[in-house]
Amino acid sequence: MIKMTETKKNPYEYLCHITRVNFYKRGLNYMSGVYYADEHPRQYMECFYKEGCTDMPVIIWIHGGAWDDEFLTASYRPEETLAKLAEAGFFIACLEYRLTRHAVLPACLEDCRMAVRYLREHAEKYHINPEKIGLWGESAGAHIACMVGSDYSGCEMQPVQCVVSFYCPSNLKTLVEDMNHEPGFVVNVLPSPKLEEEEVTKILKEMSPVSYAHKQGLPPMLLFHGACDEVVSCNQSIEYAGRLRNAGNEAKLVIVPGQGHGFFSGSKYYDQVIDFFYQNLSE
């Protein structure tokens, strides 16, 4: 989620109802505190999987929160859908990462990359397939997923196999313009609020997934966006999907009618997510 101005004990409670899952009753093993790095206490994952499965494809879930909101954690997730995937033999890793209050961008992007690397290096320990890793993020988490999926750093990291994005802020420069937000709306991605305009523009471009959509050979992407999203305009995903397709990349765009910013109502959207992961990680 992009940060709201209203402050509550749980400012995101109104966005959606999250169905909690009893992993043990579902026959799933649950691991908390799986640390992929040791620079900060937030560099860990919560993982669950079905006992006895081997060579499991991996799905890394990345929560949102404007890159900085302490109310949202790795437990903010579509648990029922993730549990179904785990029951079907997927290894689910819910990522926690450094917020911008701890370290400025691209720290959270690096955390996601380190988590991917950690899982690949420990594939035998967790009985996973290091060649079958997908990312799924919402809002700021979708931004992280799309950036890492696009190999934004150019360091030629072994690519992930697919990306699912829920209402991604893909163009940080137009994000403010699209929704008529105050300029400070994206201050969380900047190392300092006192930068010159030229430097701000440069950083926003470097930290925008659309800046890397021209690259060929990117992993397949499934992009969802609410037609009535008043926080991140659906134009963000429309533009991103168009640029990806123009470069010859596979990008399916689903505009969800009548819905805004937050997990979507209606199982058919999550069924599409499940099918997408099956197609790209199991076949």
Q: What is the mean pLDDT of residues 213-234?
A: 95
The chain-wide mean pLDDT, for the chain, equals 88
Each residue's pLDDT tens digit, 264-280: 888 999 999 999 999 99
CA distances to 65, 142, 250, 275 from 259, in Å: 19, 17, 25, 22
- Residue 175 pLDDT grade (very low, low, confident, very high; cuts 50, 70, 90): confident
Amino acid at residue number 92? I
CA distances to 28, 30, 80, 83, 267 from 93, in Å: 13, 10, 14, 11, 22
Q: Which of 68-82, 190-204, 250-264 is the least confident region?
A: 190-204
Which pTM does this prediction carry? 0.91
How far is C-alpha 223 from the chain's CA centre? 11
What is the predicted pLDDT for the residue at 6?
A: 37
3-state SS, 4-58, equals CCCCCCCCCCCCCCCCCCCCCCCCEEEEEEEECCCCCCCCEEEEEEECCCCCEEE
3-class SS of residue 211: helix
Q: What is the mean pLDDT of residues 221-229?
A: 97
CATH code for the part of the protein at 29-282: 3.40.50.1820
